[in-house]
Chain A
Amino acid sequence: MNRNGGHRFDHEFIYEIVPGGASVLDLGCGDGELLARLIEDKKVQGLGIEKDIDQVAKAISRRVPVLHTDLDLGLAGFPDNFFDFVILEKTLQVVNKPLLVLEEMLRVGGVGVISFPNFSHWNVVASLILTGRMPVTPALPYHWYDTPNIHLFTVKDFLDWARTNNVAVEQGLAWVNGKVVPLNEEEDIFAEEVLFVISRNS
């Protein structure tokens, strides 16, 4: 699945917050790089889900356990709260059924970590208004015809979903001008990419 962008602030943040020995499910794990590091350095019990078989093969060669399946099918087969952490790095915008994926993520895991490109970033919005064309930016480097991103949404869209679905946002981070800063909802236009730590309100 899509892991665009050169910088990996989400990678680094997740690597820092996952405690040793935790169980981690990485949805759209790609080539398994993050899980490989977590498994090796932190003795994490990791499992990836990935729908591209070439990426699956790469993950396997890194000794990362990975299941070749489509997130749009849900996570049936995994019990509630089976994982300590469920990761959804830059993947939500490429799935067909984002709401199902979010629901399943919160069902099988205690804590969800989610990152995505922000469509309300000023550069994106300005580019759309000024050029009249779908924006091509570092966080959204594709053309309209070849983008894997099929559900584009903004920080506010995501937070609206969280509020109406009883989802607690534990933490929000933004990638602004090459730096990681705490996310300010009112200044979301400066956030090129964002990351949220979420959980189900009990």
Chain B
Amino acid sequence: MRPSFKAVRRGGLEMSDPLNVLTKKTPRQFDQAGSPRSVGWTRAHRVRLADEKNPLPLDCGKTIAPVDVEYEIYGKLNRARDNAILICHALSGDAHAAGWSADAGRLGRPWLKNRPGWWDVMIGPGKAFDTDKYCVICSNILGSCYGTTGPSSIDPETGRPYGLRFPVVTVGDWVRLQERLISHLGIDRLLAVAGGSLGGQQALEWALAYPDRVESAIIIASAARLSDQGLAFNVVARNAIMTDPNFKDGDYYGGPTPGRGLEVARMLGHITYLSETSMENKFGRRFCNGEGPGFHLGVDFEVEGYLRHQGKAFVERFDANSYLYITRAMDYYDASAWGEGDLDKACRRIESRLLLVSFSSDWLYSPAHTKELALALGRARKRVSYANIESSYGHDAFLLEVEKLSHLVRCFLGEGVAE
């Protein structure tokens, strides 16, 4: 029997507007800049942390200079300088972690006007990372396109953007650069380093690289290393970018960018951030026109519209070369390198208290992988706690399971920081 479609057949390859999928369902409430729960208007700072005299050594064996770093600070450093918490961002994040950017125009990043910082739900007065108590710092990673030196920055040797001449950077390099920032800010010891996903790997790297300078580490939706499945997705994402006809070996600055490739890479990324259940809850095989198949090859399912929109929006705001370098750093990260390949041995270096959190439906950094790290830390007799939050949101849960995550973070950080 022929399935009965309620749909009215539309002519040709007509595409539904993918945006109506999103505008229809964005119930999320933001704390406005004037809200007592918001850090308010924020400004990005920029500082040069490496120059010709003092270049930054990199894991690949090269050095790089100059290096500028963009960062933001919320809350105040106390007199003892012991209430600083460093927040590490994930793959496509930036230093703008909380509040509303007063700099969107100056920085040439109009999208910052539409929403607060990427972890605004966690950072602010009375929130998990309470800016009434803590001095919260977030810096942008090396290789990014958001104010910290990256492939789109000018290579002093050629006077042109680095492109693929930019050295391959690692999570270790990022943390080494963050250490320079922390020292520059006059902070000897961080009360905590926290991050989700790739940010969680930076938090772990901090505890490994600077054991005496990290009181505690909060590692969320992360693990000692990315799985082979994760590596595979990154390979495909990079291939999409590098095979784009506009890619031109990374020398596309000033001309058309490899937008289609980057768009596909981001679509792929978004699939790994959601779970089967969250996709079903969000889209449920629904059609954009709400009726049935449109009998065309354009955007027809809501999930298609969602991915297309996410991909397109990303192209507007991210540099394709940065995506290549950052995913590579994500691939290479392996905490066991601190123990010559033995994770238990690596963990013995750590002095910090640790909180590890995973989410039940996360398949990019699965609970099993997070637990594996927790057990290695346990075998190294470290003060580690691990919790797995029941969630249908997949990897994105570290941005969405605010209530449960906030509760755990508060419990872990505890009370009592000197004025």
Chain A residues in the interface with B (C-beta under 8 A)? 23, 45, 47, 53, 56-61, 63-69, 77-79, 82
Residue on A with the closest CB to B358?
A: A68
Residue on A with the closest CB to B387?
A: A68
B157 to chain A, nearest CB (A): 50
Q: Please determine whether A77 and B375 come into contact, CB atoms closer than 8 angstroms.
A: yes
Contact residues in A for B404 (Cβ distance below 8 Å)? 53
State A64–B382 Cα separation when bound (angstroms).
11
Interface residue B385 (Cβ < 8 Å from any Cβ of A): yes
* Interface core residue of B355, B388, B390 (most chain A CB under 10 Å): B388
Q: Please determine whether B378 and A77 come into contact, CB atoms closer than 8 angstroms.
A: yes
8 additional contacts (CB under 8 A) given A53-B404, A61-B410? A23-B381, A61-B412, A61-B414, A65-B378, A67-B375, A67-B385, A68-B387, A82-B379
Interchain Cβ contacts under 8 Å between A and B, 16 examples: A45-B381, A53-B387, A57-B408, A61-B411, A63-B353, A64-B385, A66-B386, A67-B374, A67-B386, A68-B387, A68-B388, A69-B371, A69-B386, A69-B388, A78-B375, A78-B378
Q: Please determine whether A53 and B389 come into contact, CB atoms closer than 8 angstroms.
A: yes
Contact residues in B for A82 (Cβ distance below 8 Å)? 379
Q: Please determine whether A59 and B385 come into contact, CB atoms closer than 8 angstroms.
A: yes
A168 to chain B, nearest CB (A): 27
Contact residues in B for A45 (Cβ distance below 8 Å)? 381
Chain B 370-400 interface 0/1 with A at a Cβ cutoff of 8 Å (1 = within): 0110110011011111111110000000000
State A82–B378 Cα separation when bound (angstroms).
10
A57-B411, A69-B371 given as contacts; is B378 within 8 A of A47 (CB)? Answer: yes
Residue on B with the closest CB to A66?
A: B385
B12 to chain A, nearest CB (A): 53
Contact residues in B for A47 (Cβ distance below 8 Å)? 378
Number of A-B contacts (CB under 8 A): 62
If over half of A's interface residues share one DSSP class (helix, strand or loop), that class is named, otherwise mixed; here it is: mixed
State A160–B151 Cα separation when bound (angstroms).
70
Give the contacting residue for B411; candidates A60, A68, A69; CB below 8 A: A60
Interface residue B10 (Cβ < 8 Å from any Cβ of A): no
Interface residue B407 (Cβ < 8 Å from any Cβ of A): yes
A56-B385, A59-B385 given as contacts; is B378 within 8 A of A67 (CB)? Answer: yes
Contact residues in B for A67 (Cβ distance below 8 Å)? 371, 374-375, 378, 384-386
Give the contacting residue for A56; candidates B375, B382, B384, B387; CB below 8 A: B387
B77 to chain A, nearest CB (A): 24
B174 to chain A, nearest CB (A): 28
Q: Please determine whether B389 and A60 come into contact, CB atoms closer than 8 angstroms.
A: no
Q: Please determine whether A79 and B379 come into contact, CB atoms closer than 8 angstroms.
A: yes
* Interface core residue of B385, B386, B408 (most chain A CB under 10 Å): B385
B104-143 interface with A by 8 A CB criterion: none
Number of contact residues on B: which range applies? 20 to 34
Contact residues in B for A65 (Cβ distance below 8 Å)? 353, 378, 382-385
Chain B 398-419 interface 0/1 with A at a Cβ cutoff of 8 Å (1 = within): 0000001001101110100000
B285 to chain A, nearest CB (A): 32
Q: Please determine whether A77 and B379 come into contact, CB atoms closer than 8 angstroms.
A: yes
State A57–B353 Cα separation when bound (angstroms).
15
Q: Please determine whether B384 and A57 come into contact, CB atoms closer than 8 angstroms.
A: no
Contact residues in A for B379 (Cβ distance below 8 Å)? 77-79, 82
Residue on A with the closest CB to B378?
A: A47
B361 to chain A, nearest CB (A): 15
A193 to chain B, nearest CB (A): 29
Residue on B with the closest CB to A25?
A: B378
A53-B389, A78-B379 given as contacts; is B374 within 8 A of A60 (CB)? Answer: no
Give the contacting residue for B355; candidates A23, A60, A79; CB below 8 A: A60
* Interface core residue of B382, B387, B408 (most chain A CB under 10 Å): B387
B365 to chain A, nearest CB (A): 16
Residue on A with the closest CB to B376?
A: A77
Contact residues in A for B384 (Cβ distance below 8 Å)? 65, 67
Contact residues in A for B374 (Cβ distance below 8 Å)? 67
Contact residues in A for B390 (Cβ distance below 8 Å)? 53
A76 to chain B, nearest CB (A): 8
Q: Please determine whether B375 and A57 come into contact, CB atoms closer than 8 angstroms.
A: no
Q: Please determine whether A63 and B414 come into contact, CB atoms closer than 8 angstroms.
A: yes
Give the contacting residue for B387; candidates A23, A60, A77, A78; CB below 8 A: A60
State A57–B407 Cα separation when bound (angstroms).
8
A62 to chain B, nearest CB (A): 9
Q: Please determine whether B381 and A57 come into contact, CB atoms closer than 8 angstroms.
A: no
Residue on B with the closest CB to A59?
A: B385
Contact residues in A for B372 (Cβ distance below 8 Å)? 77
Q: Please determine whether A58 and B411 come into contact, CB atoms closer than 8 angstroms.
A: yes
A108 to chain B, nearest CB (A): 11
B362 to chain A, nearest CB (A): 15
Contact residues in A for B355 (Cβ distance below 8 Å)? 60
State A23–B379 Cα separation when bound (angstroms).
12
* Interface core residue of A61, A64, A68 (most chain B CB under 10 Å): A68
A28 to chain B, nearest CB (A): 16
Q: Please determine whether B381 and A60 come into contact, CB atoms closer than 8 angstroms.
A: no
Contact residues in A for B371 (Cβ distance below 8 Å)? 67, 69, 77
Contact residues in A for B407 (Cβ distance below 8 Å)? 57
* Interface core residue of A59, A65, A66 (most chain B CB under 10 Å): A65
A67-B374, A67-B378 given as contacts; is B383 within 8 A of A57 (CB)? Answer: no
